[in-house]
């Protein structure tokens, strides 16, 4: 059943997010509803079922794979007597843990306050002894109880601070002159940092967790005597909280102002097609979808599926697919130059480098048409 497969994938991803945030998942609950209950998101029977499970097994937190409205969050917390996290809060928490520079920290803090503001009336009385933990990093409980006005002031302040940094970063980008700029884009955990490291011989942090990269890294890369700038950007994700899209404006500006996008896809992931779509949607949102793009299908070294017959190359059936076979798949028929590689083993790197060289050269020539 396709719907159920999708659901499992979504919950796998949520579990990976929870793991990244430092939680272990005990049990999954699902419910089919034509639409979410406006008061409690899930039905009342399901809420009781979860409440009983939580009590029996001394569970600390219940996580929802959607953004809950402020009142849904409040009602659920009151009814189930347990801390509730929604998808947005979970992602914000991971970002808070991972933000390295003061710029990223400012961005995350702003997003957290924006999330918090409409939820300020939330009651924490029954949870008083459960301070700290996931969803509580960044603005703490004392702030939750303070006046909305203080938070609004803080939001204004943070926005001003970001505006100043945005201007500085824009100047920096301008100062990079006419050198061609390529940006790595892609879903989180597809191998962008790994690729950045192997192309530019730099040491960008790569880890099998979601959102290892929050800050953009820019490196000068030279392929065949042609220098260009390569940027590693924050990974995209399905249902990226809108507060984050907005507050990571400057990070996304790197993408918006790039001359060439290198769209990295983890082809070993069963939902890679969904990932491509999510990334394309975000590119559309930030109006960067018409840029020249190269599709890089990564992790070709990583398969463990059975293959039924020659023509069958659907994700669930491929195994040890050769480069020639990859080149015959629908993926290779996109309107963009497409290449299949492994960032880990560097398989097929020469073809990828040639492709990047050709695209960068095209842009370079269009910029300096009268040079030899």
Q: What is the binding site for ligand GDP (CB under 6 A)? A: 186, 188-194, 206-208, 212-213, 235, 298-299, 301-302, 342-344
Considering the complex, state which of residue 344 and residue 361 has its C-beta at the smaller distance from ligand GDP. Answer: 344
Q: How far is the CB of 259 from ligand GDP (least distance, A)?
A: 21
Beta-strand ranges (E) seen in 148-259 are 181-186, 217-223, 226-232
Q: How far is the CB of 345 from ligand GDP (least distance, A)?
A: 7
Q: How far is the CB of 93 from ligand GDP (least distance, A)?
A: 17
d(CA 63, CA 73): 11
Structure tokens at 338: 């497409």
Considering the complex, state which of residue 106 and residue 188 has its C-beta at the smaller distance from ligand GDP. Answer: 188
Q: How many CB atoms lie within 10 A of CB 272?
A: 19
User: Angle 102-116/249-256 helices, nearest 10 degrees?
Assistant: 120
Q: How far is the CB of 51 from ligand GDP (least distance, A)?
A: 36
Considering the complex, state which of residue 54 and residue 288 has its C-beta at the smaller distance from ligand GDP. Answer: 288
Length of the chain measured in residues: 372
Q: How many CB atoms lie within 10 A of CB 58?
A: 8
Considering the complex, state which of residue 62 and residue 212 has its C-beta at the smaller distance from ligand GDP. Answer: 212
Four-residue CA torsion sign, 141, 143, 144, 145: positive
Query: Which residues, 6+ apart, have CB-to-CB distance to 170 below 8 Å?
Result: 253
First to last CA, the chain: 60
3-state DSSP assignment of residue 315: coil
Q: How far is CA 42 from CA 12, 33, 46, 116, 173, in A?
A: 20, 8, 6, 22, 47
Considering the complex, state which of residue 40 and residue 213 has its C-beta at the smaller distance from ligand GDP. Answer: 213
Of 106, 191, 201, 227, nearest to 156 (Cα)?
106
Considering the complex, state which of residue 99 and residue 151 has its C-beta at the smaller distance from ligand GDP. Answer: 99
Question: Which residue's CB atom is positioned nearest to ligand GDP?
Answer: 191
Considering the complex, state which of residue 206 and residue 244 has its C-beta at the smaller distance from ligand GDP. Answer: 206
Q: How far is the CB of 332 from ligand GDP (least distance, A)?
A: 18
Q: How far is the CB of 209 from ligand GDP (least distance, A)?
A: 8
Q: How far is the CB of 253 from ligand GDP (least distance, A)?
A: 19
């Amino acid at each position: 059943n396709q719907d159920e497969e999708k659901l499992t994938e979504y919950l796998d991803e949520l579990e990976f997010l929870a793991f990244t945030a430092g939680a272990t998942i005990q049990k999954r609950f699902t419910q089919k509803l034509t639409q979410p209950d406006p008061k409690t998101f899930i039905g009342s029977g399901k809420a009781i079922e979860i409440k009983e499970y939580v009590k029996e097994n001394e569970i600390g937190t219940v996580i929802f794979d959607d953004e809950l409205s402020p009142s849904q969050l409040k009602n659920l917390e009151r009814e189930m007597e347990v801390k509730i996290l929604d998808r947005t809060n979970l992602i914000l928490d991971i970002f808070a843990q991972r933000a390295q520079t003061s710029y990223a920290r400012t961005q995350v803090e702003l997003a957290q306050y924006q999330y918090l503001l409409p939820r300020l009336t939330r009651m924490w009385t029954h949870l008083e002894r459960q301070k700290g933990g996931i969803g509580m990093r960044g603005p703490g409980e004392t702030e939750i109880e303070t006046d909305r006005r203080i938070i609004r002031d803080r939001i204004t302040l943070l926005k001003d601070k970001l505006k100043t940094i945005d201007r500085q970063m824009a100047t920096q980008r301008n100062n990079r002159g006419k050198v061609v700029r390529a940006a790595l884009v892609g879903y989180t955990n597809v191998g962008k940092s790994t690729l950045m490291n192997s192309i530019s011989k730099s040491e960008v942090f790569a880890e099998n967790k979601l959102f290892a990269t929050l800050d953009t890294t820019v490196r000068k890369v030279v392929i065949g005597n042609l220098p260009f700038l390569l940027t590693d950007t924050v990974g995209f994700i399905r249902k990226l909280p809108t507060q984050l899209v907005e507050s990571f404006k400057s990070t996304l500006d790197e993408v918006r102002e790039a001359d060439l996008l290198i769209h990295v896809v983890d082809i070993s992931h069963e939902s890679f097609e969904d990932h491509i779509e999510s990334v394309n949607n975000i590119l559309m949102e930030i109006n960067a979808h018409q840029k020249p793009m190269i599709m890089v299908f990564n992790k070709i070294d990583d398969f463990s599926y059975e293959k039924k017959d020659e023509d069958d190359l659907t994700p669930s059936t491929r195994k040890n697919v050769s480069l020639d076979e990859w080149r015959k798949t629908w993926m290779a028929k996109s309107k963009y130059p497409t290449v299949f590689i492994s960032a880990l083993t560097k398989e097929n790197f020469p073809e990828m480098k040639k492709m990047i060289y050709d695209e960068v050269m095209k842009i370079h020539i269009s910029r300096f048409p009268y040079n030899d």
